[in-house]
């Protein structure tokens, strides 16, 4: 009687391992993209906080005059996966957006009256759903 595994037993083990890997890789990629998206969400939220602070201190002008230079001393995360925050609008409403460097999606925030009125994610809908930013 020989000690060891037969070829069939080894093949079954390899098939089981391959099946487990094929099931876990998509979940891993989704989790990694969620973690990467946190950089963009953090920078977008910091810009929104600065814009709303500007709005509160300049209520007579609203967001008019707000630029990315306002509050330069504020901390923000390193920009590894995302471009800088884009700003458009003025007056009573402002739109902030930040794009993934790969171009897969863009996160956005609409501000109105010193508050966040809407969050958007445009681009790859699968990634937007995974991030949970609507």
Q: How far is CA 36 from CA 81, 102, 106, in A?
A: 7, 12, 13
Residue 89 has pLDDT above 80, yes or no: yes
In which band, very low, low, confident or very high, does the pLDDT at 2 lie, cut at 50, 70 and 90?
Answer: confident
- Name which residue leads in pLDDT, 130 or 76: 130
Tokens 């080894």 locate to 10
User: Which 3 state secondary structure label does DSSP give 25?
Assistant: helix
Q: How far is CA 25 from CA 29, 56, 95, in A?
A: 6, 46, 35
- Name which residue leads in pLDDT, 112 or 71: 112
Cβ-in-10-Å burial (0-12, 13-18, 19+) of 53 comes to: middle
């Amino acid at each position: 009687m020989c000690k060891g595994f037969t070829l069939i037993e080894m093949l079954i083990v390899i098939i089981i391992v391959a099946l487990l890997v094929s099931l876990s890789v998509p979940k891993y990629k989704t989790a990694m993209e969620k973690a990467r998206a946190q950089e963009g969400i953090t920078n977008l939220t910091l810009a929104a906080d600065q814009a709303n602070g500007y709005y509160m201190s300049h209520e007579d002008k609203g967001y008019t005059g707000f630029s990315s230079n306002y509050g330069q001393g504020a901390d923000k995360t390193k920009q590894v996966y995302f471009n800088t925050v884009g700003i458009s609008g003025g007056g009573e409403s402002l739109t902030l957006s930040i794009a993934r460097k790969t171009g897969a999606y863009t996160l956005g925030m609409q501000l109105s009256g010193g508050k966040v009125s809407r969050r958007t994610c445009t681009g790859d809908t699968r990634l937007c759903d995974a991030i949970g930013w609507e």
